[in-house]
Chain A
């Protein structure tokens, strides 16, 4: 039985990764399981300079999911390279750094630094809904995505994955833009822009008023978008959005995802990613699938 996958030039032992912002830089969950079991770790969104993040309250539970407005709090790439990367290198897994910036210049400067580090790939975050400058501004139009991607491509020789936002009318437009800009792969979906109001105070519960919705509540939207995006481009897709078990993971792969990512599913059970790997293997046994690649995009439409 083969679960190995080559994703955008990154050789992974299985298609299961952990999503940016839900796994820190690996330390906390390494106290529960061996990170070497994962296909890849995608780091917390990391910027050129440290970012303090948004005012609290930053998180709120909703039906079958949660809202967050963290605002990309992170210690910056220099700190990451000095303290977190050496820790992650202790494990036999692939390291993908989620890169965020507020301008094209910042993305380019950051990726110049990342290109010199001993990492396996970069996930370009063009889709965080919680910061004013950058991200959504670039991530929602064909021209915006293509421009950032192609500028970063000029300085980055490592595998480049572009993370797309679902907050668009037509996901195939931005998916094509990433491909046309020279990305090796795309990942989707980031969180859906959302809001919760406290009816007693009449105020939104998040200090930033709006936030990003994630969790099982968004999974059907994510599956649909992965299906549409995967059909419209030739580069591979990493699917995410509400995956909490093997069944969810298989669903994304049938829809066209080559790899998948566990996001806030990590929060409800630290072993979610490990269990997902086991459940994928059980599915393969049940249907006598010898190679996991056989199921990618194999949804049979009505």
Chain B
């Protein structure tokens, strides 16, 4: 059940130009949140920017009731959010989404993320590792200047591959190429992905070709974030082309079984 809280910003870190990590006191949300859930933030009490901003959860510190999220400054909302100072209260609704990453009856998992899509995968990797699973992580970035959280993902993975599209840091190419070649030699029971649409499409196809269960975390413009406005629609797999059927990222997702949706 989501809650609205006014969470105190206790730590603000600039990870990169335009990339911030906020740590907030959000015990009520942290206690019930699961990997894959997201939150919605009201930027200010003014009516512009108007809508809340959906942001994925990066880390849940259950012991201390701290929630961490990372966001890129992109438009007027995130620009204002980045100006918040430590000690300020942030209006947050969460945890949101009923489609969460599920870790059941599996031993070896692959986690693949691209760019700012890697953030919601961290809590998943952390919990999977704590549950004794083998976590194989593949994270890709455009170039060396955009590489973040390498150490953090190292800590929660038994095997980590970092890639850059231009080869300016670590392995050269797309993360999925390395996952693909590892699938030849490694046993992988499930794949979890979040990132740009072309990457998600490729992961979905790869997983389905290899018949490996796969979950994708999606993004779509949202109105309410609660499942009432029906704005963040995604097509369900197998629905007729002339009459496509839709489910919603905020309520049925944001994490979907790859076979359930068409992207």
A binds B: yes
Measured between beta carbons, the chain B residues less than 8 angstroms from A58 are 221, 230-233
Main secondary structure of the interface of B (DSSP, over half): loop
Instruction: Say which one of A18-26, A91-99, A165-173 lies at the interface with B.
Output: A18-26
Bits for A259-271, please: 1 = Cβ < 8 Å to B, else 0: 0000010111111
Closest to A32 in B: B4
On chain B, the residues within 8 Å of A59 by CB distance are: 221-223, 229, 231-232
Known contacts A59-B221, A59-B231, A59-B232; is-contact A29 B226 (Cβ 8 Å): yes
Q: Chain A's nearest CB lies how many Å from the CB of B170?
A: 31
* B130 interface contact, C-beta 8 A: no
The digit string for B50-77, where 1 denotes a CB below 8 A from any CB of A, is 1110000000000000000000000000
CB-CB under 8 A from A66, the residues of chain B are 50-51, 223
Stretch at the interface among A48-56, A138-146, A278-286: A48-56
Given contacts A22-B224, A66-B223, A271-B4, contact A53 B48 (CB under 8 A): no
Name the CB-closest residue of A to B233.
A56
Collect the chain B residues with CB atoms within 8 Å of residue A266's CB.
Answer: 224, 228
Q: Which residues of A have CB within 8 Å of B224?
A: 22, 28, 264, 266-267
Tell me the complex Cα distance, A31–B228, Å.
Answer: 13
Per-position binary interface string of chain A over residues 211-247, scored 1 when its CB falls under 8 Å from any chain B CB and 0 otherwise: 0000110000000000000000000000000001000
Q: Is the CB of B229 within 8 A of A268?
A: no
User: Which residues of chain B in 83-127 are interfacial with respect to chain A, using CB atoms and an 8 Å cutoff?
Assistant: 91, 93
Smallest CB separation, B34 vs chain A (Å): 17
Name the B residues within 8 Å of A56 (CB-CB). 220-221, 231-234, 246
Q: Which residue of A lies closest to B239 (CB)?
A: A52
Interface residues of B in 217-248 (CB under 8 A from A): 220-234, 239, 243-246
The reply to whether A73 and B230 contact each other, CB–CB distance below 8 Å, is yes
CB distance from A271 to the nearest CB of B (A): 7
Chain B proximity mask over A116-152: 1 for CB below 8 Å, otherwise 0: 0000000000000000000000000000000000000
Does A40 lie at the interface of the complex (its beta carbon under 8 Å from any beta carbon of B)?
A: no
Q: Verify B51–A22 contact, CB threshold 8 A.
A: no
A70–B229 CB distance below 8 A:
yes
B2 proximal to A (CB < 8 A): yes
Report if A28-B227 is in contact (Cβ < 8 Å); known contacts: A58-B233, A215-B47, A270-B4: yes
Q: Is A267 touching B52 in the complex (CB atoms < 8 A)?
A: yes
The distance from the CB of B136 to the nearest CB of chain A, in whole angstroms, is 32
Q: Of B2, B42, B227, B233, which one neighbours A24 at CB under 8 angstroms?
A: B227
Q: Choose among B48, B91, B230 the residue with the greatest number of A CB atoms under 10 Å from its CB.
A: B230
Minimum C-beta distance from B183 to chain A (A): 31
- Give A23's nearest chain B residue, CB to CB: B228
Contact status B229-A267, CB under 8 Å: yes
Distance (Å) between the CB of A119 and the closest chain B CB?
19
Closest 3 CB pairs of A and B: A59-B231, A24-B228, A267-B224
The interface of chain A, by Cβ under 8 A from chain B, is 21-24, 28-29, 31-32, 44, 52-53, 55-66, 68, 70, 73, 215-216, 244, 264, 266-271
Instruction: Please list the residues of chain B having a beta carbon within 8 angstroms of any beta carbon in chain A.
Output: 1-2, 4, 42, 47-52, 91, 93, 220-234, 239, 243-246, 251
Question: Can you list 6 residue pairs at the A/B interface with Cβ under 8 Å?
Answer: A59-B223, A59-B231, A59-B232, A61-B51, A266-B224, A267-B225
Q: Other CB < 8 Å A-B pairs besides A64-B50, A66-B51, 13 of them?
A: A28-B224, A31-B2, A52-B243, A52-B244, A53-B233, A58-B230, A59-B232, A63-B48, A63-B50, A68-B223, A70-B231, A73-B230, A267-B228
